[in-house]
Structure 1
Amino acid sequence: MRVKDIAQRLTGTVLAPEPRKGSASPRLDEAEFKRRFRSQFQDDAFAPLGAELDRVADAAWDAYAHERKSPKTRKAGPGFADPDYELALDWIAAKEAIDRATLRHDDAAGPLRVLLINGSPRSEHTCPGELSKSWRLVQLAREVLEEAGIATEFLDLSRLASEYGVNIHPCKACFSTAAALCHWPCSCYPNYSLGQTQDVMNEIYPKWVEAHGVMIVTPVNWYSPTSPLKLMMDRLVCADGGNPDPSLTHGKEAKEAKREELKGWNYPRHLKGRLFSVVVHGDVEGAENVRRALSDWMRFMHMESAGASAELDRYIGYWKPYATSHEELDADDAIQQEVRNAARTLCEALRARRAGRLHMSGETLTEPRPK
């Protein structure tokens, strides 16, 4: 038996491994920081404001130099592992929004809710100059669900490419250091000292939580999910096993998080039981693989497929010119009806679940190796 194992048994403590370090520092000196900061003000309208921008740059440098990630905080208070830990006000607001969404989801007298997601970044409001086929297909599903009395919420991920101040910053992979280091909701953003702000995931989390069903319609981009969709997927890792109490790890203390995981982490499934539908369309290759990847991802989060007809991968305008792809969709009545049927299948499954008639075999079994 190793020495550390003996010590652990004698003391009853959990000895966590040291976090591995050694990569090059990304920290900037003052001159380079201010050069990058000022580079966003290229428009001539800012020219008369040079002195003011210099003062703003000085303040931004001070925040960066002192790493003030979350400048506005308050004590966690009762119900947290460390009531005296200073929680970011942004995180508290996000947690409260999720709690309200949970109440809406759990209200048996409330409406059934579906989150409809357009995964395409294309729209007529930016460089492509034309809306996407995914957007059109989502509208077909929306009509079906609303006619059936389902409350729908539309999440249009093309807004990441066309609307000012709408960002999904990348996941930092905290979970891979230790499960407890990944907070639910994500506490990595906003990071004011790094300028990582205007992140909309705190608005997106409650939409997933309140939904009884989720329907994703997306194209294939280079054999993979689109960039906006993948960003959202990665940032939803905290919904699957994430730690709902940042004070437990005193924020981002990696060794404390390792210790908590090694004590025995219960991997809370924050989206468990929600039903899903997936529609993936392509024009050359990859539709089946992306559909399978999205379905597997949601199943891993303990969400459940609404049924075989709710999972669809198809080609529109197979090997045809991109310039006529919308005309190809106009002519493809079959896929339009299949998308409507996917929405109908989701609707039927939601009603069966609420009536207590939908039971997924194995859902009560305990996982032998949760992760």
Structure 2
Amino acid sequence: MSIPEARTGTPDPTLDEAEFRRRYLQQFQDPAFDALKSELQRITDAAWDAYSNHRKSPHTRKAGPGFADPDYDLSVDWIAAKEAIDEAQRKHEDGNGPARFLLIAASSRSEHTCPGEMSKSYRLTEIARQVLGSAENVEVEVLELSRLTSEYGRHIHPCKACFSTASALCHWPCSCYPNFSLGQTHDWMNEIYPKWVAAHGVMIVTPVNWYQVSSPLKLMMDRLVCADGGNPDPTSTHGKKVEQAKELELKGWDYPKHLSGRLFSVIVHGDAEGAGDVRRSVSDWLRAMDLHPAGNLAEIDRYIGYWKPYATSHEELDRDTDVQEEVRNAALTLLDAVKAKRAGQWKDAGEHLQEPRMK
């Protein structure tokens, strides 16, 4: 079998030492650091050493039994993320445990940073949380993506598109981060993956931002690509060995659906245009990962304060009791579907059919 060569030729992004030091020290502009210049120079020396020697994962241990290459040195960060996902999967499969719901407030706006006001997405999420939280034997977790804009050291780094080189190169969970040599740390996704895995039902509440989902939601969506066909064994490609990944895919990759079978609800609200398109886009994405819609009432796209001033948008939501009730109905629909599915009484027509073409 002929393995295609990796196409290369983009400009080299490697920094010389002077530019690296300039950029690294930019984060210490506060006068409080002025008395620490000698210490900062020593720290910068160490950072340059890590960067120039490409130490992406400085702490590793042998993969051990259960991996294609037990002797491969795996990142301890990846191992911890994998263990958290495995524990979350056990919770998901526990028939005696509570029904678990993940509610995602996707707006980047909050009163804890520049906008000075909470988002309507958060308010709608709270309505759903109150509905689900009042049910028996239920566990509800709210993932507030506005923390990316308001909380120190909270990041979702962009997807590096490993999947597009070869599906087996995209590891589940993502192994691209943290990358200590490039300063790509504090990545939130290793905490977010288990939340999705444990959930029986997921509700996403997002505004329309320029005809699209919010920036934080799009970052999370892209980084969930590894849940849809990603490789659960990084030792099978010895990290990011492109040729090995291409060979694995061409031998016949099974594109495992790591979030298959979970139920979803999508709430999209806008103020002028694009709500329907965004709702369809998010719902299609979830369907593509083999999550199932909870029902017609669980998918909503609405305008709140249509072409009204932004300054009065929360007052418009106060007055729009119909959309508030629709969100309650969406939450109840998701709750009913999850209960029925866990009791073996819910069926999605065609769910057991095999797709003739995988992505």
TM norm structure 2? 0.99
Please list the CA deviations of residues 59-104 of structure 1 after superposition, one character each: whole Å capped at 9, or x if unmatched: 0000000000000001111111111111000000000000000000
Distance 2:349 2:206 in 1: 29
Q: Which amino acid aligns with 2:95?
A: A
Please list the CA deviations of residues 233-273 of structure 1 after superposition, one character each: whole Å capped at 9, or x if unmatched: 00000000000000000000111100000000000000000
Match for residue 63 of structure 2 among 76, 83, 86: 76
Pairing 1:248-327 to 2, within 5 Å after superposition: 248-327=236-315
Query: What is the DSSP-based 3-state SS (H/G/I as helix, E as strand, rest coil) of the residue aligned with 2:103?
Result: strand
Q: Which amino acid aligns with 2:245?
A: A
Q: Which amino acid aligns with 1:105?
A: H
Equivalence for 2:100: 113
Deviation at 1:355, TM superposition (A): 1.3
Pairing 1:202-221 to 2, within 5 Å after superposition: 202-221=190-209
Q: Does 1:195 align with 2:180?
A: no
Equivalence for 2:223: 235
Equivalence for 1:172: 160
Q: Which amino acid aligns with 1:30?
A: E
Query: What is the DSSP-based 3-state SS (H/G/I as helix, E as strand, rest coil) of the residue aligned with 1:168?
Result: coil
Equivalence for 1:91: 78
Equivalence for 1:102: 89
Q: Which amino acid aligns with 1:53?
A: L
Distance 2:167 2:342 in 1: 32
Match for residue 120 of structure 2 among 133, 156, 169: 133
Match for residue 41 of structure 2 among 54, 71, 92: 54
Query: What is the DSSP-based 3-state SS (H/G/I as helix, E as strand, rest coil) of the residue aligned with 1:40?
Result: helix
Over aligned residues, Cα RMSD in angstroms? 0.5
Equivalence for 1:142: 129
Q: Which amino acid aligns with 2:351?
A: E
Q: Which runs of 5+ in 1 are unaligned?
A: 1-13
Query: What is the DSSP-based 3-state SS (H/G/I as helix, E as strand, rest coil) of the residue aligned with 2:204?
Result: strand
Deviation at 1:15, TM superposition (A): 2.5
Distance 2:101 2:51 in 1: 41
Q: Which amino acid aligns with 1:122?
A: R
Equivalence for 2:13: 26
Distance 2:339 2:121 in 1: 26
Percent identity reads 69
Count the aligned residue pairs: 358
Distance 1:290 1:30 in 2: 44
Match for residue 35 of structure 1 among 11, 22, 36: 22
Distance 1:275 1:332 in 2: 27
> Which aligned segments of 4 or more residues in structure 1 are displaced greater than 4 angstroms?
none
Equivalence for 2:140: 152
Distance 1:73 1:196 in 2: 17
Q: Which amino acid aligns with 2:203?
A: M
Query: What is the DSSP-based 3-state SS (H/G/I as helix, E as strand, rest coil) of the residue aligned with 2:90?
Result: helix
Q: Which amino acid aligns with 2:322?
A: A
Q: Which amino acid aligns with 1:261?
A: E
Distance 2:343 2:71 in 1: 44
Q: Does 1:343 align with 2:335?
A: no
Deviation at 1:354, TM superposition (A): 1.1
Q: Which amino acid aligns with 2:285?
A: W
Distance 2:250 2:355 in 1: 17
Equivalence for 1:162: 150
Distance 1:184 1:126 in 2: 33
Query: What is the DSSP-based 3-state SS (H/G/I as helix, E as strand, rest coil) of the residue aligned with 1:39?
Result: helix
Q: Which amino acid aligns with 2:353?
A: L
Please list the CA deviations of residues 201-260 of structure 1 after superposition, one character each: whole Å capped at 9, or x if unmatched: 000000000000000001000000100000000000000000000000000011110000
TM norm structure 1? 0.96
